[in-house]
Amino acid sequence: MTVRLVLLGFGNVGSALARLILAKHSEVRQRYGLDLRVVAIATGRHGAAYDEAGLDLARALEIRGSTASLSELAQSQASSDITGLLEEIEAEAILESIPVNYQSGQPAIGYLETALRRGMHAITANKGPVVHGYQALSELAGAKGRQFLFEATVMDGTPLFSTWRECMPGAQLTSFRGVLNSTTNFLLSEMESGKSFDTALEEAQALGVAETDPSGDIDGWDAAIKVALVVTVLMDSPLGIQDVERGGIGELEANQIRAATQDGLRWRLVCSGWRENDKVRGRVRPERVGPEDPLYHVRGTSSLITFASDVLGDLTIMGADPGPNTTAYGMFADLLNAVRAS
Ligand SMILES: NC(=O)c1ccc[n+]([C@@H]2O[C@H](COP(=O)([O-])OP(=O)(O)OC[C@H]3O[C@@H](n4cnc5c(N)ncnc54)[C@H](OP(=O)(O)O)[C@@H]3O)[C@@H](O)[C@H]2O)c1
């Protein structure tokens, strides 16, 4: 079966996904009988291209590293406007990886809505549409017999949502606790080894672990949106990012990090969610943790979440060395799961 794909966003994650599709193409055809074919790629400033027979992905990757526009790959006519393109073309799935909009989830929500309405599975690495549009997009997907999946959004491709979906039917999540922001954990780990905040930040930026404007990580926004997302999806209770009690590592002084180290402790930006009476609450804040706590052992860019449920003891999932390649795998796994289930 031919599976026509639209890649919306062709940055770090979108291009890693294209490389993975190329690398796994024959394996997927052999194992699952699926012929993955990217028919369209759309970006913000680097153009868009549509070829109903399938784009030359290797050339698309070369173009990404140059000053050329993706539009030189176009072999079929389609609107240059993304919504127009999605209205016109035929595809089985959209894989969206455009920048997060913490406030509204747009324009990604609109793009995913259009794709679902047109009968495509909608897969995203972008937290915005999940926090702001989970219910509506899931309902629309259900009505269309398609899936809205987002494994890549929280732990860079480490399977936490599919673990709940596939392995824990009938279970209720009562609370969770974890380290979900790689950048701040990297900074804390570097500062524990004696570096100043500024040096650690420069290093993180040079490695591509931190953004040029790192405030989304430092002020706890990225962690807060992940808490809101996990609560909304796994605790069946819509929680806005503003409803998450939020602190960031920017409030920590170097001497506090040193003092914790001397006491045999480490600071971690702890993300948590829990049920309280008939409400669910979410929080992000720096906490001192000791060696008996799994969070103490989360170093560098790794992340970890521990789930408490009404059926099992604590279940901990850890993802080591995350990045665009692991995130791309989260999207790829969602794609295979969606297509094989339909
Ligand atoms: N990087 C990671 O490891 C990671 C991990 C987990 C989740 N994520 C999430 O994945 C998403 C992408 O991350 P990234 O690192 O790949 O970002 P990125 O490198 O900045 O790439 C973003 C892509 O989206 C395109 N784009 C921007 N605005 C657009 C719009 N309005 N419509 C269509 N395309 C648009 C950009 O095109 P131009 O460059 O032409 O503007 C670019 O191709 C984000 O939501 C991020 O939070 C990333």
pLDDT at 23: 98
CA 307 to centroid of ligand 1, rounded, Å: 29
In the chain, the percentage of residues whose pLDDT exceeds 70 is 100
Which residue's structure tokens are 């500024």? 198
11 CB near ligand 1 (under 6 Å): yes
Percent pLDDT > 90 in the chain is 89
Q: Select from 43, 185, 211, 241 the residue to mutate for testing ligand 1; criterion: most ligand atoms less than 8 Å from CB.
A: 43
pLDDT score of 76: 86
In angstroms, rounded to a whole number, what is the distance separating the alpha carbons of residues 21 and 35? 10
Q: Going by CA atoms, what residue is nearest to atom 11 of ligand 1? A: 97
Average pLDDT, the chain: 95
> Hey, whose CA ends up nearest to atom 2 of ligand 1?
324
Measure 122 CA to ligand 1 centroid, in angstroms.
16
290 CB near ligand 1 (under 6 Å):
no
Alpha helices for 65-165 (secondary structure H):
82-88, 108-117, 127-144, 152-155, 161-162
Q: Whose CA is nearest to atom 1 of ligand 1?
A: 324
Taking the CA of residue 15 as reference, the ligand 1 atom at the shortest distance is: 16
* Token output for 45: 């400033």
CA of 100 to the centre of ligand 1 (A): 8
Asked whether residue 50 carries a pLDDT value surpassing 90, the answer given is: yes
Residue 136 is predicted with a pLDDT of: 98
The atom number, within ligand 1, closest to the CA of 126 reads: 45
The ligand 1 atom at the shortest distance from the C-alpha of residue 324 is 3
Fold of domain 2-157+324-341: Rossmann fold (3.40.50)
Distance CA 37, CA 71 (A): 18
CATH topology classification for 168-319: Dihydrodipicolinate Reductase; domain 2 (3.30.360)
pLDDT at 92: 98
pLDDT band at 319 (very low <50, low <70, confident <90, very high): very high
Is 90 exceeded by the pLDDT of residue 212? no
User: Which residues have a Cβ under 8 Å from the Cβ of 194 and sit 6 or more positions away?
Assistant: none
pLDDT of 211 reads: 78
Q: What pLDDT score was predicted for residue 289?
A: 98
Does residue 209 register a pLDDT over 90?
A: no
Residue of 81, 114, 156, 327 best suited for mutating to test ligand 1, as the one with most atoms within 8 Å of CB = 327
Say if ligand 1 is within 6 A of residue 107 CB.
yes
Cβ-contact 6, 86 below 8 angstroms: yes
Would you say residue 284 has pLDDT above 90?
yes
**In this model, does residue 54 exceed pLDDT 90?**
yes
Q: Which is nearest to 161 in space by CA: 197, 125, 186, 192?
A: 125
What amino acid occupies position 140? L
Write out the residue limits of the CATH 3.30.360.10 domain(s) in the chain. 168-319
- CA–centroid distance, 233 to ligand 1, in Å, is 22
pLDDT in tens, 1-49: 999 999 999 999 999 999 999 999 999 999 999 999 999 999 999 999 9
- pLDDT value of residue 179: 98
**Cβ distance 54 to 25 under 8 Å?**
no
List every span in the chain annotated with CATH 3.40.50.720: 2-157+324-341
Pocket lining: 208 vs ligand 1, CB cutoff 6 Å: no
Q: How confident is the model at residue 227 (pLDDT cuts 50, 70, 90)?
A: very high
User: Over the stretch 98-149, which tens digit does the pLDDT of each residue have?
Assistant: 999 999 999 999 999 999 999 999 999 999 999 999 999 999 999 999 999 9
Which CA distances in Å does 330 have to 34, 265, 317?
A: 18, 33, 15
Would the pTM of this model clear 0.75, i.e. be above it? yes
β-bridge partners, 122: 94, 148
Residue 151 — very low, low, confident or very high, per pLDDT cuts 50/70/90?
A: very high
